[in-house]
Amino acid sequence: MQTRIGSVGSLEEGKDPVITTRTSQSKTLPLRALQLFGFFLALCIGFSIISIYTIRRFGIYSTVTTVKSTFVPCAEEPNSLDHWRKPPSSLLHSMSDKELLWRASFVPRIKKYPFNRLPKIAFMFLTKGPLPLAPLWERFFKGHEGLYSVYIHSLPSFKAEFPSSSVFYRRQIPSQ
């Protein structure tokens, strides 16, 4: 609380001094909020000390969850030509002497591959609309399933409608 008595000039002129009272409101925190803040701060410091002691005593692995990989590599590598050209990942194998001879030579000295090869022919039909000789091609491909791959390259606006039993069913590749 401030008290101010009139200015020096007012006393000299013979006037009564004017008393002005101003109250300045202090902006201090209430005692209850201060106690709550202190309790929270003490709780945080205590938790930090306990955590640091636990990590030093038992190690970080007991407090942090570890994720173990579930990836298990395949015991048997795929049967492809690259598989036979690359060196083995493990020296323990179950290959016969003929397979080892074939693998050791860049040019195979045995007549038969160590896996079944199936040669295929790819047929790509370039068309703007419906396939003109589709029934004839159906008869050509009949009985030779697995020996060919069929693709129809057409305009994006063309929607081919073949029955599900057809060799052309879902074989459309629309152009860009």
Q: What is the pLDDT of residues 140-165, one digit of tens each?
A: 999 988 888 888 888 888 888 889 88
Q: In the predicted model, is pLDDT for residue 92 greater than 50?
A: no
Domain boundaries defined on the chain: 36-68, 121-174
Which CA distances in Å does 8 have to 3, 21, 22, 89?
Answer: 15, 17, 19, 103
**Residues contacting 62, CB < 8 A, separation 6+:** 54
Tell me the CA end-to-end span of the chain in Å, nearest whole number: 85
What's the pTM value of the predicted model, to 2 decimals?
0.36
- Residue pair 23/1 in contact by the 8 Å Cβ criterion: yes
Q: In the predicted model, is pLDDT for residue 30 greater than 70?
A: yes
Which CA distances in Å does 159 have to 123, 136, 153, 174?
Answer: 19, 20, 11, 9
pLDDT band (50, 70, 90) for residue 83: low
Question: How far apart (Å, rounded) are the C-alpha atoms in residues 176 and 173?
Answer: 9
